[in-house]
Chains A and B, each alone.
Chain A
Amino acid sequence: MAKITFIEHNGTPHTVEIALGKTVMEAAVDNNVRGIDADCGGECACATCHVYIEPAWLAKVGLAAAGSQEASMLSFAAVTQPDSRLSCQITVTADLDGLVVRMPEGQH
Protein backbone atom coordinates (compact mmCIF):
# COMPACT_ATOMS: atom_id res chain seq x y z
CA MET A 1 0.00 0.00 0.00
CA ALA A 2 1.04 3.60 -0.52
CA LYS A 3 -0.33 6.84 0.94
CA ILE A 4 -1.37 9.55 -1.50
CA THR A 5 -2.49 13.02 -0.44
CA PHE A 6 -4.89 14.98 -2.65
CA ILE A 7 -5.26 18.67 -1.86
CA GLU A 8 -8.51 20.22 -3.04
CA HIS A 9 -8.43 23.60 -4.78
CA ASN A 10 -9.73 25.16 -1.55
CA GLY A 11 -6.79 23.66 0.41
CA THR A 12 -8.60 20.70 2.04
CA PRO A 13 -6.24 17.69 2.11
CA HIS A 14 -7.37 14.06 1.77
CA THR A 15 -4.85 11.31 2.49
CA VAL A 16 -5.83 7.87 1.22
CA GLU A 17 -4.21 4.45 0.89
CA ILE A 18 -4.01 2.53 -2.34
CA ALA A 19 -2.53 -0.80 -3.41
CA LEU A 20 0.71 -0.63 -5.41
CA GLY A 21 0.09 -1.08 -9.12
CA LYS A 22 -3.11 0.94 -9.15
CA THR A 23 -3.17 4.47 -10.50
CA VAL A 24 -3.30 7.78 -8.66
CA MET A 25 -6.70 8.35 -10.30
CA GLU A 26 -7.99 5.06 -8.82
CA ALA A 27 -6.71 6.13 -5.40
CA ALA A 28 -9.05 9.13 -5.62
CA VAL A 29 -12.04 7.34 -7.15
CA ASP A 30 -11.89 4.28 -4.87
CA ASN A 31 -11.86 6.59 -1.84
CA ASN A 32 -14.43 9.06 -3.20
CA VAL A 33 -12.06 12.03 -3.15
CA ARG A 34 -13.89 15.01 -4.55
CA GLY A 35 -12.36 16.80 -7.54
CA ILE A 36 -11.23 13.86 -9.69
CA ASP A 37 -14.03 13.10 -12.15
CA ALA A 38 -12.30 10.45 -14.32
CA ASP A 39 -15.21 10.40 -16.75
CA CYS A 40 -13.60 7.93 -19.18
CA GLY A 41 -12.63 5.46 -16.45
CA GLY A 42 -8.87 5.65 -17.00
CA GLU A 43 -8.54 5.42 -20.78
CA CYS A 44 -6.55 8.64 -21.13
CA ALA A 45 -9.42 9.96 -23.22
CA CYS A 46 -11.08 12.80 -21.33
CA ALA A 47 -8.62 14.83 -19.20
CA THR A 48 -10.96 14.96 -16.18
CA CYS A 49 -8.48 13.45 -13.68
CA HIS A 50 -6.04 16.34 -14.01
CA VAL A 51 -3.70 17.07 -11.05
CA TYR A 52 -0.68 19.24 -10.31
CA ILE A 53 2.32 17.39 -8.88
CA GLU A 54 3.88 18.95 -5.76
CA PRO A 55 7.37 20.27 -6.64
CA ALA A 56 9.14 17.89 -4.22
CA TRP A 57 7.65 14.90 -6.11
CA LEU A 58 8.05 16.10 -9.65
CA ALA A 59 11.41 14.40 -10.25
CA LYS A 60 10.04 11.00 -9.13
CA VAL A 61 6.71 11.25 -10.95
CA GLY A 62 8.02 12.91 -14.08
CA LEU A 63 6.17 14.93 -16.69
CA ALA A 64 3.94 13.69 -19.50
CA ALA A 65 6.20 12.69 -22.40
CA ALA A 66 6.23 15.21 -25.23
CA GLY A 67 3.99 14.08 -28.07
CA SER A 68 2.23 11.49 -25.89
CA GLN A 69 -1.51 10.92 -25.78
CA GLU A 70 -1.46 12.29 -22.25
CA ALA A 71 0.30 15.50 -23.32
CA SER A 72 -2.25 15.92 -26.11
CA MET A 73 -5.20 15.42 -23.72
CA LEU A 74 -3.62 17.77 -21.18
CA SER A 75 -3.37 20.53 -23.75
CA PHE A 76 -7.17 20.74 -23.59
CA ALA A 77 -7.60 20.39 -19.83
CA ALA A 78 -8.78 23.36 -17.80
CA VAL A 79 -5.97 25.59 -16.44
CA THR A 80 -2.85 23.52 -17.07
CA GLN A 81 0.53 24.25 -15.48
CA PRO A 82 4.02 22.94 -16.23
CA ASP A 83 3.51 20.34 -13.46
CA SER A 84 0.14 19.10 -14.80
CA ARG A 85 -0.43 15.36 -15.17
CA LEU A 86 -3.40 13.07 -15.79
CA SER A 87 -3.62 10.97 -12.65
CA CYS A 88 -4.84 7.91 -14.58
CA GLN A 89 -1.42 7.77 -16.21
CA ILE A 90 0.56 7.63 -12.94
CA THR A 91 0.97 4.09 -11.60
CA VAL A 92 1.54 3.93 -7.85
CA THR A 93 4.87 2.33 -6.93
CA ALA A 94 6.62 2.02 -3.55
CA ASP A 95 8.68 5.05 -4.65
CA LEU A 96 5.54 7.18 -4.68
CA ASP A 97 4.46 6.37 -1.10
CA GLY A 98 3.64 9.77 0.40
CA LEU A 99 2.97 11.50 -2.94
CA VAL A 100 1.18 14.85 -2.74
CA VAL A 101 -0.86 16.25 -5.63
CA ARG A 102 -3.06 19.33 -5.89
CA MET A 103 -6.31 19.53 -7.79
CA PRO A 104 -7.42 22.23 -10.22
CA GLU A 105 -10.54 24.29 -9.56
CA GLY A 106 -12.59 22.12 -11.90
CA GLN A 107 -12.22 19.28 -14.38
CA HIS A 108 -14.63 20.59 -17.02
Chain B
Amino acid sequence: MTDASTRVVIAGAGHAGGSAAAMLRQLGFEGSIALIGDEPIPPYERPPLSKAWLKGEASAESLALRPAEFYPTQKIELRLNTSVTGIDRAAKTVSLGSGEIVPYDFLILALGARARRLPIPGIELEGVLELRTAADADRLKSALGPGKRLAVVGGGYIGLEAAASARGLGAEAIIIERESRVLARVACQQLSDFFEAYHRSQGVTIEVAAGVAALEGVDGHVTDVRLTDGRLIPCDAALIGVGAVSNEEIAREAGLTCDGGIVVDASARTNDSSIFAIGDCTKRPLPLYGRTMRLESVPNALEQAKQAAAAIYGRPPPPPEVPWFWSDQYDLRLQIAGIPFDATEIVVRGDIAAGKFALFHLAQDGLVRAVEAVNSSTEFMGGKRIIQRGKRLTADQIRDMAVTMQELAS
Protein backbone atom coordinates (compact mmCIF):
# COMPACT_ATOMS: atom_id res chain seq x y z
CA MET B 1 0.00 0.00 0.00
CA THR B 2 1.02 3.58 -0.49
CA ASP B 3 0.74 6.49 1.93
CA ALA B 4 1.73 10.15 2.12
CA SER B 5 5.40 9.19 2.43
CA THR B 6 5.46 7.12 -0.79
CA ARG B 7 7.65 8.66 -3.48
CA VAL B 8 6.86 8.16 -7.17
CA VAL B 9 9.38 9.36 -9.74
CA ILE B 10 8.29 9.52 -13.38
CA ALA B 11 11.16 9.64 -15.88
CA GLY B 12 9.81 11.32 -19.00
CA ALA B 13 7.22 14.11 -19.17
CA GLY B 14 5.43 13.25 -22.41
CA HIS B 15 1.87 12.08 -22.94
CA ALA B 16 2.49 8.85 -21.00
CA GLY B 17 4.36 10.36 -18.05
CA GLY B 18 2.04 13.34 -17.70
CA SER B 19 -1.02 11.07 -17.80
CA ALA B 20 0.40 8.67 -15.22
CA ALA B 21 0.93 11.56 -12.78
CA ALA B 22 -2.65 12.77 -13.31
CA MET B 23 -4.12 9.28 -12.95
CA LEU B 24 -2.29 8.62 -9.68
CA ARG B 25 -3.89 11.74 -8.21
CA GLN B 26 -7.29 10.79 -9.66
CA LEU B 27 -7.11 7.49 -7.80
CA GLY B 28 -6.31 9.32 -4.55
CA PHE B 29 -2.56 8.74 -4.31
CA GLU B 30 -1.25 11.03 -1.54
CA GLY B 31 2.50 10.57 -1.82
CA SER B 32 4.93 12.75 -3.74
CA ILE B 33 5.13 12.71 -7.54
CA ALA B 34 8.16 14.05 -9.41
CA LEU B 35 7.67 14.33 -13.18
CA ILE B 36 11.02 14.76 -14.90
CA GLY B 37 11.39 15.67 -18.58
CA ASP B 38 14.16 16.96 -20.82
CA GLU B 39 12.00 19.29 -22.90
CA PRO B 40 11.50 22.93 -21.85
CA ILE B 41 7.67 22.78 -21.75
CA PRO B 42 5.12 20.82 -19.68
CA PRO B 43 3.58 17.63 -21.18
CA TYR B 44 1.88 18.27 -24.51
CA GLU B 45 0.11 16.35 -27.25
CA ARG B 46 2.43 15.17 -30.00
CA PRO B 47 -0.15 14.08 -32.63
CA PRO B 48 -1.00 17.68 -33.70
CA LEU B 49 2.71 18.40 -34.39
CA SER B 50 2.45 16.92 -37.89
CA LYS B 51 -1.07 18.27 -38.43
CA ALA B 52 -2.83 21.30 -36.88
CA TRP B 53 0.32 22.66 -35.16
CA LEU B 54 2.37 22.44 -38.34
CA LYS B 55 -0.34 24.26 -40.28
CA GLY B 56 -0.54 26.98 -37.62
CA GLU B 57 -4.09 26.04 -36.64
CA ALA B 58 -3.37 25.14 -32.99
CA SER B 59 -2.25 27.35 -30.09
CA ALA B 60 0.43 26.42 -27.56
CA GLU B 61 -2.34 26.37 -24.97
CA SER B 62 -4.38 23.84 -26.94
CA LEU B 63 -1.29 21.67 -27.42
CA ALA B 64 -0.68 21.43 -23.65
CA LEU B 65 -1.94 18.23 -22.07
CA ARG B 66 -3.13 20.19 -19.01
CA PRO B 67 -3.02 23.88 -18.09
CA ALA B 68 0.19 25.12 -16.41
CA GLU B 69 -1.51 25.60 -13.01
CA PHE B 70 -2.55 21.92 -13.06
CA TYR B 71 0.83 20.72 -11.79
CA PRO B 72 1.10 22.86 -8.62
CA THR B 73 -2.64 22.39 -7.91
CA GLN B 74 -2.26 18.62 -8.14
CA LYS B 75 1.01 18.67 -6.16
CA ILE B 76 2.97 17.23 -9.06
CA GLU B 77 6.57 18.41 -8.98
CA LEU B 78 7.34 19.17 -12.61
CA ARG B 79 11.06 19.26 -13.39
CA LEU B 80 11.78 20.35 -16.94
CA ASN B 81 15.00 20.71 -18.95
CA THR B 82 16.54 17.73 -17.18
CA SER B 83 16.45 13.99 -17.64
CA VAL B 84 17.07 10.78 -15.74
CA THR B 85 20.46 9.48 -16.79
CA GLY B 86 20.82 6.43 -14.57
CA ILE B 87 18.97 4.08 -12.22
CA ASP B 88 20.44 2.52 -9.07
CA ARG B 89 17.97 -0.28 -8.37
CA ALA B 90 19.66 -1.42 -5.15
CA ALA B 91 19.58 2.06 -3.63
CA LYS B 92 16.23 2.88 -5.32
CA THR B 93 17.49 6.18 -6.68
CA VAL B 94 17.80 7.82 -10.05
CA SER B 95 20.50 10.25 -11.11
CA LEU B 96 19.74 13.34 -13.16
CA GLY B 97 21.82 15.05 -15.82
CA SER B 98 22.80 17.65 -13.22
CA GLY B 99 24.31 14.95 -11.02
CA GLU B 100 21.50 15.19 -8.48
CA ILE B 101 20.33 11.91 -6.90
CA VAL B 102 16.56 11.45 -6.42
CA PRO B 103 15.15 8.59 -4.30
CA TYR B 104 12.01 6.66 -5.26
CA ASP B 105 9.71 3.98 -3.91
CA PHE B 106 8.17 3.48 -7.36
CA LEU B 107 9.77 4.52 -10.63
CA ILE B 108 7.78 4.91 -13.85
CA LEU B 109 9.87 4.97 -17.02
CA ALA B 110 8.06 6.98 -19.68
CA LEU B 111 11.13 7.53 -21.82
CA GLY B 112 9.45 7.57 -25.23
CA ALA B 113 11.11 6.86 -28.54
CA ARG B 114 13.39 8.86 -30.79
CA ALA B 115 13.52 9.21 -34.54
CA ARG B 116 15.67 6.56 -36.23
CA ARG B 117 18.78 8.17 -37.76
CA LEU B 118 19.79 7.20 -41.27
CA PRO B 119 23.48 6.27 -41.48
CA ILE B 120 24.09 8.20 -44.70
CA PRO B 121 26.38 11.07 -45.68
CA GLY B 122 24.92 14.54 -45.23
CA ILE B 123 22.54 13.65 -42.40
CA GLU B 124 24.09 16.45 -40.28
CA LEU B 125 23.33 19.19 -42.86
CA GLU B 126 21.13 22.11 -41.87
CA GLY B 127 17.61 21.64 -43.16
CA VAL B 128 17.68 17.89 -42.54
CA LEU B 129 14.90 17.52 -39.99
CA GLU B 130 13.05 15.00 -37.90
CA LEU B 131 9.69 15.30 -36.18
CA ARG B 132 9.28 14.15 -32.59
CA THR B 133 9.08 17.31 -30.49
CA ALA B 134 7.44 20.73 -30.60
CA ALA B 135 10.88 22.23 -31.29
CA ASP B 136 11.27 19.86 -34.27
CA ALA B 137 7.84 20.92 -35.55
CA ASP B 138 8.73 24.61 -35.29
CA ARG B 139 11.91 24.02 -37.31
CA LEU B 140 9.91 22.16 -39.96
CA LYS B 141 7.22 24.83 -40.04
CA SER B 142 9.77 27.58 -40.68
CA ALA B 143 11.03 25.61 -43.69
CA LEU B 144 7.57 25.38 -45.29
CA GLY B 145 5.51 27.85 -47.29
CA PRO B 146 4.70 28.81 -50.88
CA GLY B 147 7.60 28.16 -53.25
CA LYS B 148 9.39 25.87 -50.80
CA ARG B 149 10.06 22.23 -51.55
CA LEU B 150 10.01 19.54 -48.86
CA ALA B 151 11.53 16.12 -49.46
CA VAL B 152 10.09 13.52 -47.12
CA VAL B 153 12.25 10.45 -46.65
CA GLY B 154 9.97 7.64 -45.47
CA GLY B 155 6.35 7.08 -46.41
CA GLY B 156 4.99 6.27 -42.95
CA TYR B 157 2.33 8.18 -41.03
CA ILE B 158 4.64 11.03 -39.99
CA GLY B 159 5.85 11.46 -43.56
CA LEU B 160 2.38 11.38 -45.09
CA GLU B 161 0.93 13.76 -42.52
CA ALA B 162 3.83 16.18 -42.94
CA ALA B 163 3.45 16.05 -46.73
CA ALA B 164 -0.27 16.80 -46.41
CA SER B 165 0.42 19.73 -44.06
CA ALA B 166 3.17 21.02 -46.38
CA ARG B 167 0.69 21.07 -49.25
CA GLY B 168 -1.76 22.90 -46.99
CA LEU B 169 0.92 25.58 -46.48
CA GLY B 170 1.48 25.91 -50.22
CA ALA B 171 4.80 24.05 -50.32
CA GLU B 172 5.70 21.31 -52.77
CA ALA B 173 6.18 17.85 -51.29
CA ILE B 174 7.89 14.73 -52.54
CA ILE B 175 7.79 11.46 -50.64
CA ILE B 176 10.68 9.01 -51.06
CA GLU B 177 9.90 5.49 -49.88
CA ARG B 178 12.28 2.54 -49.87
CA GLU B 179 9.54 -0.12 -50.07
CA SER B 180 7.26 -0.70 -53.05
CA ARG B 181 4.41 1.24 -51.40
CA VAL B 182 3.83 3.85 -48.71
CA LEU B 183 2.67 2.68 -45.24
CA ALA B 184 4.27 -0.68 -46.13
CA ARG B 185 4.91 -1.70 -42.53
CA VAL B 186 1.65 -0.47 -41.02
CA ALA B 187 -1.18 -0.88 -43.52
CA CYS B 188 -2.45 -3.29 -46.16
CA GLN B 189 -1.97 -2.90 -49.92
CA GLN B 190 -5.45 -1.46 -50.58
CA LEU B 191 -4.98 1.24 -47.97
CA SER B 192 -1.50 2.09 -49.30
CA ASP B 193 -2.92 2.36 -52.83
CA PHE B 194 -5.72 4.62 -51.63
CA PHE B 195 -3.39 6.99 -49.76
CA GLU B 196 -0.85 7.09 -52.60
CA ALA B 197 -3.56 8.01 -55.10
CA TYR B 198 -5.00 10.62 -52.75
CA HIS B 199 -1.65 12.28 -52.11
CA ARG B 200 -0.90 12.34 -55.84
CA SER B 201 -4.30 13.97 -56.46
CA GLN B 202 -3.23 16.68 -53.99
CA GLY B 203 -0.06 17.36 -55.95
CA VAL B 204 2.41 15.30 -53.93
CA THR B 205 5.09 13.42 -55.88
CA ILE B 206 5.73 9.89 -54.59
CA GLU B 207 8.81 7.84 -55.43
CA VAL B 208 8.50 4.24 -54.25
CA ALA B 209 11.20 1.54 -54.29
CA ALA B 210 13.63 4.44 -54.01
CA GLY B 211 16.71 4.18 -51.80
CA VAL B 212 18.41 7.26 -50.40
CA ALA B 213 22.20 7.27 -50.82
CA ALA B 214 23.05 10.68 -49.41
CA LEU B 215 21.92 14.20 -48.66
CA GLU B 216 23.78 16.81 -50.67
CA GLY B 217 24.31 20.38 -49.56
CA VAL B 218 25.86 23.75 -50.29
CA ASP B 219 27.42 25.84 -47.52
CA GLY B 220 26.24 23.32 -44.92
CA HIS B 221 22.57 23.44 -45.97
CA VAL B 222 20.74 20.60 -47.68
CA THR B 223 19.95 21.16 -51.38
CA ASP B 224 19.20 17.68 -52.72
CA VAL B 225 18.42 14.11 -51.79
CA ARG B 226 20.61 11.74 -53.79
CA LEU B 227 18.89 8.44 -54.60
CA THR B 228 20.75 5.15 -54.93
CA ASP B 229 20.00 5.17 -58.69
CA GLY B 230 21.94 8.44 -58.93
CA ARG B 231 19.01 10.81 -59.37
CA LEU B 232 19.01 14.10 -57.45
CA ILE B 233 15.80 15.35 -55.83
CA PRO B 234 16.14 19.10 -55.14
CA CYS B 235 14.68 20.38 -51.87
CA ASP B 236 14.76 23.26 -49.39
CA ALA B 237 14.40 20.88 -46.45
CA ALA B 238 14.40 17.11 -45.97
CA LEU B 239 12.26 15.46 -43.30
CA ILE B 240 13.51 12.05 -42.24
CA GLY B 241 10.61 9.88 -41.03
CA VAL B 242 11.87 6.32 -41.10
CA GLY B 243 10.55 5.01 -37.82
CA ALA B 244 11.48 5.37 -34.16
CA VAL B 245 13.57 3.46 -31.66
CA SER B 246 12.78 2.97 -27.99
CA ASN B 247 14.70 5.10 -25.48
CA GLU B 248 15.53 2.07 -23.35
CA GLU B 249 19.26 2.58 -22.73
CA ILE B 250 19.08 3.54 -19.04
CA ALA B 251 16.72 0.60 -18.40
CA ARG B 252 19.08 -1.84 -20.08
CA GLU B 253 22.09 -0.44 -18.21
CA ALA B 254 20.16 -1.01 -14.97
CA GLY B 255 19.60 -4.66 -15.85
CA LEU B 256 15.90 -4.38 -16.74
CA THR B 257 14.79 -6.81 -19.43
CA CYS B 258 14.68 -5.12 -22.85
CA ASP B 259 13.89 -6.60 -26.24
CA GLY B 260 13.29 -3.76 -28.70
CA GLY B 261 11.43 -2.01 -25.89
CA ILE B 262 11.42 -2.31 -22.10
CA VAL B 263 9.60 -5.57 -21.42
CA VAL B 264 6.55 -5.12 -19.18
CA ASP B 265 3.59 -7.22 -18.03
CA ALA B 266 -0.12 -6.40 -18.24
CA SER B 267 0.29 -4.05 -15.26
CA ALA B 268 3.12 -2.17 -17.05
CA ARG B 269 5.56 -3.63 -14.50
CA THR B 270 9.14 -4.45 -15.49
CA ASN B 271 11.14 -7.35 -14.06
CA ASP B 272 11.82 -5.08 -11.06
CA SER B 273 8.61 -4.90 -9.01
CA SER B 274 9.27 -1.25 -8.06
CA ILE B 275 9.80 -0.11 -11.64
CA PHE B 276 7.10 0.38 -14.28
CA ALA B 277 7.47 1.39 -17.91
CA ILE B 278 4.78 2.95 -20.11
CA GLY B 279 4.24 4.27 -23.62
CA ASP B 280 6.43 4.17 -26.73
CA CYS B 281 9.47 2.77 -24.87
CA THR B 282 7.80 -0.51 -23.85
CA LYS B 283 7.33 -3.94 -25.32
CA ARG B 284 3.98 -4.97 -23.89
CA PRO B 285 1.59 -7.90 -23.91
CA LEU B 286 -1.48 -7.70 -26.16
CA PRO B 287 -3.88 -10.07 -24.39
CA LEU B 288 -6.43 -9.98 -27.21
CA TYR B 289 -3.78 -11.23 -29.63
CA GLY B 290 -1.59 -13.46 -27.46
CA ARG B 291 1.53 -11.54 -28.44
CA THR B 292 3.91 -8.86 -27.24
CA MET B 293 4.67 -5.76 -29.23
CA ARG B 294 5.97 -2.21 -29.00
CA LEU B 295 3.18 0.23 -29.88
CA GLU B 296 3.62 3.92 -30.67
CA SER B 297 0.30 5.59 -29.99
CA VAL B 298 -1.47 7.89 -27.57
CA PRO B 299 -4.13 5.29 -26.62
CA ASN B 300 -1.32 2.88 -25.72
CA ALA B 301 0.39 5.50 -23.55
CA LEU B 302 -2.90 6.25 -21.77
CA GLU B 303 -3.75 2.58 -21.23
CA GLN B 304 -0.35 1.79 -19.74
CA ALA B 305 -0.41 4.97 -17.60
CA LYS B 306 -3.71 3.69 -16.20
CA GLN B 307 -2.22 0.23 -15.60
CA ALA B 308 0.83 1.58 -13.76
CA ALA B 309 -1.22 4.00 -11.62
CA ALA B 310 -3.64 1.22 -10.65
CA ALA B 311 -0.82 -1.18 -9.76
CA ILE B 312 1.04 1.40 -7.64
CA TYR B 313 -2.13 2.43 -5.83
CA GLY B 314 -3.10 -1.23 -5.27
CA ARG B 315 -6.16 -1.30 -7.51
CA PRO B 316 -7.12 -4.14 -9.85
CA PRO B 317 -5.80 -3.66 -13.40
CA PRO B 318 -8.16 -2.00 -15.89
CA PRO B 319 -9.61 -4.34 -18.55
CA PRO B 320 -7.44 -4.76 -21.66
CA GLU B 321 -8.25 -2.33 -24.48
CA VAL B 322 -8.19 -2.85 -28.23
CA PRO B 323 -5.12 -1.00 -29.61
CA TRP B 324 -6.12 1.89 -31.82
CA PHE B 325 -4.49 4.54 -33.97
CA TRP B 326 -5.50 7.51 -36.07
CA SER B 327 -4.08 9.76 -38.75
CA ASP B 328 -5.49 12.93 -40.31
CA GLN B 329 -4.40 13.89 -43.83
CA TYR B 330 -6.20 16.57 -45.90
CA ASP B 331 -9.90 15.89 -45.34
CA LEU B 332 -9.26 12.21 -44.60
CA ARG B 333 -9.53 10.73 -41.15
CA LEU B 334 -8.01 7.27 -40.90
CA GLN B 335 -8.86 5.31 -37.76
CA ILE B 336 -7.51 1.84 -37.14
CA ALA B 337 -8.82 -0.56 -34.51
CA GLY B 338 -6.79 -3.67 -33.71
CA ILE B 339 -3.80 -5.20 -35.45
CA PRO B 340 -4.20 -7.62 -38.39
CA PHE B 341 -2.25 -10.54 -36.84
CA ASP B 342 -3.24 -13.89 -38.44
CA ALA B 343 -5.65 -12.17 -40.83
CA THR B 344 -6.22 -14.09 -44.05
CA GLU B 345 -8.98 -12.08 -45.71
CA ILE B 346 -9.74 -8.40 -46.23
CA VAL B 347 -13.35 -7.35 -46.72
CA VAL B 348 -14.31 -3.87 -47.92
CA ARG B 349 -17.34 -2.15 -46.44
CA GLY B 350 -18.29 1.11 -48.14
CA ASP B 351 -16.93 2.79 -51.26
CA ILE B 352 -13.15 3.19 -51.71
CA ALA B 353 -13.60 5.46 -54.75
CA ALA B 354 -15.80 7.79 -52.68
CA GLY B 355 -13.16 7.95 -49.93
CA LYS B 356 -15.52 6.53 -47.30
CA PHE B 357 -14.84 2.91 -46.47
CA ALA B 358 -13.53 0.41 -43.96
CA LEU B 359 -11.29 -2.60 -44.47
CA PHE B 360 -12.11 -5.51 -42.17
CA HIS B 361 -9.26 -7.96 -41.59
CA LEU B 362 -10.56 -11.44 -40.78
CA ALA B 363 -8.76 -14.52 -39.53
CA GLN B 364 -9.62 -17.88 -41.08
CA ASP B 365 -12.44 -18.52 -38.62
CA GLY B 366 -14.12 -15.17 -39.27
CA LEU B 367 -12.63 -13.58 -36.16
CA VAL B 368 -12.25 -9.82 -36.77
CA ARG B 369 -8.63 -8.83 -36.03
CA ALA B 370 -8.47 -5.25 -37.31
CA VAL B 371 -10.57 -2.55 -38.99
CA GLU B 372 -9.00 0.27 -41.01
CA ALA B 373 -11.62 2.97 -41.46
CA VAL B 374 -11.36 6.04 -43.71
CA ASN B 375 -13.91 8.77 -42.95
CA SER B 376 -16.00 6.03 -41.33
CA SER B 377 -15.97 6.57 -37.58
CA THR B 378 -19.00 4.34 -37.08
CA GLU B 379 -17.19 1.41 -38.70
CA PHE B 380 -14.16 2.17 -36.53
CA MET B 381 -16.14 2.29 -33.28
CA GLY B 382 -18.19 -0.77 -34.19
CA GLY B 383 -15.07 -2.61 -35.30
CA LYS B 384 -13.34 -1.82 -32.02
CA ARG B 385 -16.26 -3.29 -30.09
CA ILE B 386 -16.42 -6.37 -32.33
CA ILE B 387 -12.68 -7.00 -31.78
CA GLN B 388 -13.02 -6.47 -28.03
CA ARG B 389 -15.79 -9.05 -27.87
CA GLY B 390 -14.08 -11.55 -30.16
CA LYS B 391 -17.10 -11.60 -32.46
CA ARG B 392 -16.98 -13.54 -35.74
CA LEU B 393 -18.47 -12.14 -38.93
CA THR B 394 -18.83 -13.36 -42.50
CA ALA B 395 -17.70 -11.30 -45.50
CA ASP B 396 -21.32 -11.00 -46.66
CA GLN B 397 -22.43 -9.56 -43.33
CA ILE B 398 -19.67 -6.96 -43.43
CA ARG B 399 -20.33 -5.89 -47.04
CA ASP B 400 -24.08 -5.45 -46.51
CA MET B 401 -24.56 -1.73 -45.89
CA ALA B 402 -28.25 -2.38 -45.14
CA VAL B 403 -27.08 -3.84 -41.85
CA THR B 404 -25.91 -1.07 -39.50
CA MET B 405 -22.62 -1.24 -37.60
CA GLN B 406 -24.66 -1.08 -34.39
CA GLU B 407 -26.39 -4.30 -35.44
CA LEU B 408 -23.12 -5.93 -36.54
CA ALA B 409 -21.48 -5.06 -33.22
CA SER B 410 -24.35 -6.09 -30.94
Contacts and interface: CB of A to CB of B under 8 A. Distances in A.
Q: Interface residues of B toward A: which range?
A: 20 to 34
Contacts of A41: 45, 47, 298
Interface of A is mostly: loop
A72 B26 contact: no
B377 A72 contact: yes
Interface string A52-75: 000000000000000001001101
B202 interface: no
Interface in B26-55: 26-27, 45, 47
A29 interface: yes
Contact of B22 (A32, A39, A45, A69): A32
Interface of B is mostly: helix
Interface residues of A, number: 18
Interface stretch (B104-112, B153-161, B181-189, B378-386): B378-386
B385 A32 contact: no
A34 interface: yes
Interface in B295-352: 298-299, 302, 318-319, 321, 326, 333, 335
Given A45-B335, A75-B406, A76-B409, A108 B318 contact: yes
B66 interface: yes
Interface of A: 29-30, 32-34, 37, 39-41, 43, 45, 47, 69, 72-73, 75-76, 108
13 contacts: A29-B66, A30-B70, A32-B26, A32-B70, A41-B45, A41-B47, A41-B298, A45-B335, A45-B380, A73-B381, A76-B409, A108-B318, A108-B321
Given A32-B22, A45-B333, A76-B382, 9 more contacts: A30-B70, A33-B26, A41-B298, A45-B326, A45-B377, A47-B381, A69-B377, A76-B384, A108-B318
